[in-house]
Structure 1
């Protein structure tokens, strides 16, 4: 009996910094999770100025919808996995700072 090879799916992995972005096209085996696709994309090498944990621990989404468990979500053909950066400033704190500045 010959073992069949898994079907391959075309997906993308996207990550952006304020000054540049990368969208990496990959062919991954059927059953690949969102987290596994990020590891396969090699983003740590593309963004050496960031710690590798940035990509291992980041929140992930598919087409703008955050994934609750990226280690369990299996990808479908055409999915774009997005790697989200942590917030630099809490949105509530930013609004408060703007409001305080506008009162001056």
Structure 2
């Protein structure tokens, strides 16, 4: 019996560059395996390759707790999340300080 194939996508974005890689993978492929199959390091050579092996992942905007165990379904889009450049709380504090000075 043939293994069922699934059509999925893997997405990654930088502020200046975005890519969505369409893949056909065997049923049972995990989110982390799909990211590996997408070969993102070759598309984003400016990013350390371990980013893609260790980054948090999500499916359609919902974070995955265990991407090594999360089997994909037909049509899923795996999203690779990059680290935040600044803590959101610190960013809000800095904006509030700038606004207070401008008044």
| TM-score computed with the length of structure 1 as normaliser | 0.95
Match in the other structure for 1:17: 14
Match of 2:53 in 1: 56
Match of 1:98 among 95, 98, 101: 95
Encode CA deviations 1:55-102: one digit per residue, 9 max, x unaligned: 000000000000011000000000000000100000000000001111
What is the Cα-based RMSD across aligned positions, in Å? Answer: 0.6
TM-score by length of 2: 0.96
Distance in 2 separating the partners of 1:20 and 1:50? 12
Superposed displacement of residue 103, structure 1:
1.1
Task: Give the superposition deviation at 1:5.
Answer: 3.1
Q: Alpha-carbon deviation of 1:8?
A: 0.5
Distance 1:26 1:76 in 2: 12
Post-superposition Cα deviations, 1:31-56, rounded to whole Å, max 9, x if no partner, equal 00000000000101000111111100
* Structure 1 outlier segments of 4+, above 3 Å: none
Distance 1:5 1:44 in 2: 31
Gaps of 5+ in 2: none
Q: How many residues align?
A: 101
